[in-house]
Amino acid sequence: MPLPQGQVFFYMGGFFLLALDLYQFYIEYYNIFSEIKFFPKAVISFMKAHQDYLSGTRPRFLGHALEEEELAAAIMARKAALGRELLILTHHYQRPEIVALGDYRGDSFGLSQKAAANREARHIVFCGVHFMAESAAILAQPHQTVQIPDPQAGCLMADMVALEAVELAWEELAQVIDPAGLVPLAYMNSEAALKAFCGSRGGLVCTSANAGQALAWGLRRGERVFFFPDQHLGRNTGCRLGLAPEEMVVWDPEAPLGGNRPEALRRARLILWDGHCHVHTRFQVEHVLAMRQAYPDARVVVHPECTAPVVDLADASGSTGFIVNYVRQAPPGATIIIGTEINLVHRLAMTYPDRRVLDLAYSLCPNMFRITLDKLLAALEQPGERHVVTVSEEVRDHARIALQRMLDLKP
């Protein structure tokens, strides 16, 4: 017996919505699916093309372009109305249309400096991921509020470590080594509670721009540094400071003593949490070798969240701010191959058309990609009210100590 027409439309609508949800999931986690060898190449190619379309690197349909222009015009009108009471901060990995509307763009360290230095703005809108907005809220003045256009813009690496797990690890380590000589160092890509943990135990925070200074500071203050959550940034920084391989161990939170023997922990000067950035671990040695073969005269620059073998093969490594300056200072005609998030690579290619700027491999941050013009406009239409980022007083006080120690580091 055939279904009534109403039920047919109901089921068709349900299947359509399910298909949209699955498609959006594939788009956001392209980096992960592209590593699955049996996943259809046609689907991967379509997902990549659609991401390029959304991020502004492919021609758009006229209707979509007009909608963007209207949203941008509305945002500019809100900016004009709010004047100096508004500060929009945009991370380098944001879509080009978002970056174009920001008051400042930069890496997490540069934007932290801007947030800490500004006293005039009442409303700070952070176009980045949640831990960045949290840091801005910690550094903000009492009269300032911090908003994030999409509170779901998190960080997969930050989710790899939680305060409870670090506290348990600290207790385990205290059974083997003297905790008085252990300095905690949290990467900016972590929740506020972990920054507070560092502040309350004589530690500090770092970004990829100042990880070297922060680690050196910690090693002067204590016998060992406990670094979390990115093991690759920690290892690359330790190598740069001259630490031997046996002086660095990885802490697996699922294993007793982090998977290490007591003597290995006593010998270690740097204990690395077993976390990573999926955007930067996508880059492999094979990518570097293939690009060097295709472009023998090219320079390869990568982010230090990449694995050590990739960093070792590159000509240079550094923060997003470092990468921007590297391309800016390159001579016209140079070929620069970049291992970092694709939105920054595309924007640098458009900004410097007299240089050949190429991606080492396609890698997009799905959480940075959540910030869109319509979400930014919605935040500006409710200044100080919509998606306000708050941090408890106790956490804020200790986290501010750790962040201030970072800001006080000498270059």
State which residues form the domain around 172. Answer: 158-275
Question: Residue 2: its pLDDT value, please?
Answer: 57
Question: Residue 173: its pLDDT value, please?
Answer: 97
Question: Residue 253: its pLDDT value, please?
Answer: 96
Domain boundary among 322, 345, 364: 364
CATH number, position 301: 3.40.50.10800
Q: Are 160 and 149 in contact (CB under 8 A)?
A: no
In Å, how far are 61, 63, 72, 246, 341 from 66, measured between CA atoms?
Answer: 9, 5, 10, 58, 27
Helices 130-139, 393-407: inter-axial angle, 10-degree rounding: 90
Measure the N-to-C terminal CA separation of the chain; round to a whole number of Å. 77
Residue type, 310: V
Q: Same structural domain for residues 172 and 271?
A: yes
pLDDT tens track, the chain, 411 positions: 555 555 555 555 555 545 545 544 444 454 444 444 444 444 444 444 444 444 444 344 344 555 888 999 999 999 999 999 999 999 999 999 999 999 999 887 788 788 778 888 999 999 999 999 999 999 888 999 999 999 999 999 999 999 999 999 999 999 999 999 999 999 999 999 999 999 999 999 999 999 999 999 999 999 999 999 999 999 999 999 999 999 999 999 999 999 999 999 999 999 999 999 999 999 999 999 999 999 999 999 999 999 999 999 999 999 999 999 999 999 999 999 999 999 999 999 999 999 999 999 999 999 999 999 999 999 999 999 999 999 999 999 999 999 999 999 976
174-212 pLDDT, tens per residue?
A: 999 999 999 999 999 999 999 999 999 999 999 999 999
Q: Give the chain's radius of gyration (CA, Å).
A: 23
Nearest to 206 by CA among 411, 407, 341: 407
Question: Residue 117: its pLDDT value, please?
Answer: 86
CA atoms of 369 and 117, how far apart (whole Å) = 27
Q: Same structural domain for residues 164 and 270?
A: yes
244-277 pLDDT, tens per residue?
A: 999 999 999 999 999 999 999 999 999 999 999 9
Q: Same structural domain for residues 180 and 267?
A: yes
Domain boundary among 220, 244, 275: 275
Question: Residue 68: its pLDDT value, please?
Answer: 86
Residue type, 180: A
3-state secondary structure of 180: helix
Question: In this structure, is residue 206 part of a structural domain?
Answer: yes
Q: Same structural domain for residues 237 and 271?
A: yes
Question: Residue 15: its pLDDT value, please?
Answer: 57
Q: Are 366 and 28 in contact (CB under 8 A)?
A: yes
Question: In this structure, is residue 280 part of a structural domain?
Answer: no
Question: In this structure, is residue 101 part of a structural domain?
Answer: yes
What total of structural domains would you count in the chain? Answer: 4
Q: Same structural domain for residues 315 and 252?
A: no
Residue type, 212: G
Question: In this structure, is residue 53 part of a structural domain?
Answer: no
Q: Same structural domain for residues 111 and 179?
A: no
301, β-bridge pairs: 316, 338
Question: In this structure, is residue 81 part of a structural domain?
Answer: yes
CA atoms of 185 and 176, how far apart (whole Å) = 19
Q: Same structural domain for residues 327 and 373?
A: no
CA atoms of 320 and 211, how far apart (whole Å) = 13
Q: Same structural domain for residues 89 and 148?
A: yes
